[in-house]
Structure 1
Amino acid sequence: MRYTRDELLDMVSAQMPARRWTHVEGVMATSVSLAERYGADPVKADLAALLHDLAKFWPIEQQESVMLEHGLNPELLEYDKQLLHAEVAAFVAEQEYGINDPEVLDAIRYHTSGRVGMTLLDKIVCLADYIEPGRNFPGVDRIRELAEHNLEQALVAGFDSTITFLIEKQKVIFPLTVLARNDIVRRLGYDDK
């Protein structure tokens, strides 16, 4: 890592409005809490959460340019532009900030979409992004309650909420999100009932 945590805090917070920085702080605190509860590394959880939205407020054209110039996941370009920032953030975290821990980079990369075979850290950062204290959407309190007892059940509820929202808005759903949800459902044995 090229920078201290304090330097990263300054660099990332400078790239976004104050309300988004408040969100990032909430994701950091929630990620650390979930990591401590479920046995993940809280330092890695904090770092991934700190960097998860670092490209969120870059112009879409800039995000697309990074994607194309560096051969990042081209499939993302066919879906909602809100997905791009996670892939770009993971790339920037590695290339510009010197983060070389693949577990941290993947947690950043998959915090919006999920993936099949999510690691514990992936699940924690993804869920923390859903339930941090500043989030206020129908069903978030139920997801928070589930997170107290079962990380995977809470994550499925989060995916369900996102998928339902996209369906109601008649939006295209990124297939990896459905696959990530289904993978966890199978692991929980819900499919066998």
Structure 2
Amino acid sequence: MVYNREQLIGIVSGQMPAKRWKHVEGVMQTAVELARRYGADPVKADLAALLHDLAKFWPVERQEAVIRENGLNAELLDHDKQLLHAEVAAFISQRDYGVDDPEVLDAIRYHTSGRVGMTQMDKIVCLADYIEPGREFPGVERIRELAEVSLEEALLAGFDSTISFLLEKKKAIFPLTVLARNDLIAQLKKRNPES
């Protein structure tokens, strides 16, 4: 069965506190704006943003079970539990809600960690998650300003912010995020060899 947008809104909003649903609405709005600004499909951006935190408030044990039982990325199990929900949300979106667009599913899957070779949609949803209007953290205004001119520059600043936070807290950094950051630097260098 394929669900329409209104049905998905009911399903997703019913699985989280109202405050988190407000965040999801902000990510949806921001993802659509970024998609329009950078020439991506706003309908896909809206759908990926709508589903990105689908499993965020599931018990960690349930998220881990979905990963184990379905042969998903087991490397996530050895890292911060905050990473699990993205992989689980992509899987559940496909299995239970009929989302079969790989671009949408990947944008959901990598919205927390990033990856090497991020697609435009990956970048849009990941960045929208960082800068939606309800987000408040040191440096978010600068990331919002960068988002006006460059997806890559803004996302790089977002990853830098996350990595700095994790270093400060003496937490492990998921290797894929470091690789995603390095890949963004390479993309920006290729575009502007002088920098």
Shorter-chain TM-score range: over 0.9
C-alpha separation in 2, matches of 1:2 and 1:15: 19
C-alpha separation in 1, matches of 2:13 and 2:23: 11
Q: Which residue of 2 aligns with 1:150?
A: 150
Q: Which residue of 2 aligns with 1:7?
A: 7
How far apart are 1:72 and its partner, in Å? 0.5
Q: Which residue of 1 aligns with 2:118?
A: 118
Structure 1's consecutive aligned runs of 4 or more residues displaced over 2 angstroms after TM superposition are 190-193
Q: AA paired with 1:186? A: A
Contact kept? 1:80, 1:172, Cα under 8 Å: yes
How far apart are 1:192 and its partner, in Å? 6.8
C-alpha separation in 1, matches of 2:126 and 2:150: 14
Secondary structure of the corresponding residue to residue 63 of structure 1:
helix
Q: TM-score, normalised by structure 1?
A: 0.98
**C-alpha RMSD of the superposition:** 1.1
Per-residue displacement from partner, 1:92-147 (whole Å, max 9, x unpaired)?
Answer: 00000000000000000000000000000000000000000000000000000000
Percent identical across equivalent pairs?
74
Q: Which residue of 2 aligns with 1:141?
A: 141
Report whether the alignment pairs 1:80 with 2:80: yes
Describe the shift of the 1:191–1:159 C-alpha distance in structure 2 as closer, same or farther (beyond 3 A): farther
Describe the shift of the 1:79–1:191 C-alpha distance in structure 2 as closer, same or farther (beyond 3 A): farther
Q: AA paired with 1:107? A: A
How far apart are 1:40 and its partner, in Å? 0.4
Contact kept? 1:143, 1:157, Cα under 8 Å: yes
How far apart are 1:191 and its partner, in Å? 8.3
How far apart are 1:161 and its partner, in Å? 0.2
Q: TM-score, normalised by structure 2?
A: 0.97
Report whether the alignment pairs 1:39 with 2:25: no
Structure 1 regions of 5+ residues with no counterpart? none
* Aligned pairs, number: 193
How far apart are 1:170 and its partner, in Å? 0.2
Q: Which residue of 1 aligns with 2:172?
A: 172
C-alpha separation in 1, matches of 2:193 and 2:185: 6
Q: AA paired with 1:21? A: W
Describe the shift of the 1:84–1:192 C-alpha distance in structure 2 as closer, same or farther (beyond 3 A): farther
Q: Which residue of 2 aligns with 1:94?
A: 94
Q: Which residue of 1 aligns with 2:18?
A: 18
C-alpha separation in 2, matches of 1:141 and 1:97: 35
C-alpha separation in 2, matches of 1:85 and 1:17: 15
Q: AA paired with 2:113? A: S
